[in-house]
């Protein structure tokens, strides 16, 4: 049984240090100090907190772009009741103070005051069933972003060395990139023998005729406007090598993510992947962000957690609904947008709903947002009821999702 706390510890976290403020239930400051963000600082914090009964303590620290992770894990490993607080909530609370001075020590004091006044309304601390999976899926997001950046560089590099070839390809197939890695540019291809180029043009197994043949690429190279430049050719080779490395790394990362997800969420993965358009990695990313569907009393709380709830403005007799709040989990919001874009291609009801919303707004992003909102409600119902996807249960769609 949890005891009602009488001591409230606010911690303001920065990259190199953190500030601690301890309040009692009468709002009296019992301690305030700055500690280094290193083992020495953690040990001093433990010594400081050890003088108080552990059951009387509650600790709060803001979510600060990753800086808080090590301290949070340390505190939870020592069995302290610890909350990661939304900075927007604590910032709004601190604005109620008449004093406009802002320092790290004052921020720690405001966090402690926030805990004191809002403790009973805070969501209970959640222990993620597989934090390793969440770390990997968020890292994957960064790798995908890097690949997109490298592809943008690649297009510029190809334009510098062999611009004509861009009109005959989409998506940069591996065979073409391997060719350009070996023969970086129009000049190198023009000098190469046809026999040396044959290895890069394997027969098409699907029977489709490629727009690029050896004859065609030699013809393009001979009439290219690109001038020989060894520096630009070297840049092209380096960019292609980077892309190959990242793509291979992504494949290994996906395999690791899939293995972890199947171990941690076997039933949930089976449920989510029953929806056409949702693959194993997408399902794993979604589950890594929500942790457990039991955290959310209803679909509205899950929608708010994703930041897909609309911002509402009221004044007097007027009330308007604006854009989505974007105050929730941005990683969850991102994967939902991607899943919505995929699912609408495979599930007719979602495709029709997208077309309906696009006809109303004429903005594809807004229409896809509506699909993401509807999809999240469906996924919540499926996970809550432990049922796989059944297209016949979408009979009243798009108005409501019935399960």
pLDDT in tens, 378-387: 999 999 999 9
- 257 CB-contact burial (10 Å; exposed 0-12 / middle 13-18 / buried 19+): buried
What rounded mean pLDDT belongs to the chain? 87
Q: State which CATH number among 3.40.1190.20, 1.20.1440.230, 3.30.420.40, 3.10.20.30 fits the domain covering 7-121.
A: 3.30.420.40
Residue 396 has pLDDT above 60, yes or no: no
pLDDT given for residue 104 in this prediction: 54
pLDDT value, residue 72: 92
pLDDT score of 65 more than 90: no
User: Cα angle vertex 132, ends 76, 266, to 5°?
Assistant: 115
Q: Which two tokens stand for residue 59?
A: 């600790």
Mean pLDDT of 106-111: 89
Look-up: residue for tokens 């992770």? Answer: 69
User: Residue 177: pLDDT above 60?
Assistant: yes
Q: What is the mean pLDDT of residues 383-397?
A: 81
pLDDT of residue 2: 61
| Adjacent-strand bridge partners of 19 | 12, 34
Model pLDDT, residue 398: 43
- pLDDT of residue 103 exceeding 50, the answer is yes
Q: Give the start-to-end residue ranges of the domains of the chain.
A: 7-121, 134-246, 265-394
DSSP state of 262: H
- Give percent of the chain with pLDDT exceeding 70: 88
Confidence class for position 99, pLDDT limits 50, 70, 90: low
Work out the pLDDT band at 323, boundaries 50, 70, 90: low
User: Given pLDDT bands bounded at 50, 70 and 90, which one contains residue 209?
Assistant: low
Q: Is the pLDDT assigned to residue 308 strictly greater than 50?
A: yes
What is the rounded distance in angstroms from the CA atom of residue 28 to the CA atom of residue 8? 10
pLDDT of residue 370 exceeding 60, the answer is yes
> What's the pLDDT score for residue 313?
36
Q: Say if residues 80 and 49 touch (Cβ distance below 8 Å).
A: yes
The more confident residue out of 399 and 79 is 79
User: What element of type H or E holds 279?
Assistant: none
pTM of the model: 0.82
């Amino acid at each position: 049984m949890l005891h009602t706390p009488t001591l409230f510890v606010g911690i303001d976290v920065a990259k190199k240090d953190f500030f601690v403020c301890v309040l009692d239930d009468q709002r009296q400051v019992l301690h305030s100090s700055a500690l280094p963000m290193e083992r020495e600082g953690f040990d001093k914090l433990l010594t400081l907190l050890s003088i108080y009964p552990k059951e009387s303590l509650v600790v709060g620290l803001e979510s600060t772009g990753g800086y808080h992770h090590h301290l949070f894990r340390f505190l939870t490993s020592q069995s302290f009741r610890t909350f990661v607080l939304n900075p927007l909530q604590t910032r709004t609370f601190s604005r109620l103070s008449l004093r406009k001075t802002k320092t790290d020590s004052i921020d720690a004091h405001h966090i402690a005051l926030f805990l004191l006044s809002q403790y009973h309304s805070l969501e209970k601390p959640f222990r993620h069933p597989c934090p390793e999976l969440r770390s990997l899926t968020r890292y994957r997001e960064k790798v995908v972003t890097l690949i997109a950046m490298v592809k943008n560089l690649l297009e510029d590099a190809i334009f510098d060395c062999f611009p004509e070839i861009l009109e005959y390809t989409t998506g940069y197939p591996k065979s073409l990139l391997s060719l350009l890695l070996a023969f970086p540019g129009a000049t190198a291809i023009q000098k190469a023998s046809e026999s040396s180029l044959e290895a890069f043009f394997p027969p098409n197994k699907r029977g489709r005729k490629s727009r690029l043949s050896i004859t065609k690429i030699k013809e393009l190279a001979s009439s290219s406007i690109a001038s020989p430049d060894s520096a630009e050719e070297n840049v092209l080779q380096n960019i292609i090598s980077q892309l190959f490395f990242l793509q291979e790394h992504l494949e290994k990362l996906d395999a690791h993510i899939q293995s972890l997800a199947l171990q941690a969420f076997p039933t949930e993965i089976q449920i989510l992947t029953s929806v056409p358009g949702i693959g194993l990695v997408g399902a794993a990313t979604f589950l890594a962000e929500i942790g457990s569907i039991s955290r959310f009393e209803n679909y509205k709380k899950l929608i708010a957690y994703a930041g897909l709830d609309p911002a509402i403005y009221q004044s007097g007799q007027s009330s308007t609904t604006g854009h989505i709040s974007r105050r929730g989990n941005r990683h969850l919001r991102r994967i939902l947008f991607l899943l919505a874009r995929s699912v609408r291609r495979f599930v007719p009801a979602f495709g029709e709903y997208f077309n309906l919303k696009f006809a109303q707004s004429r903005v594809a992003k807004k229409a896809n947002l509506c699909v993401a909102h509807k999809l999240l409600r469906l996924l919540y119902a499926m996970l809550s009821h432990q049922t796989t996807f059944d297209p016949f249960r979408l009979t009243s769609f798009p108005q409501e999702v019935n399960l």
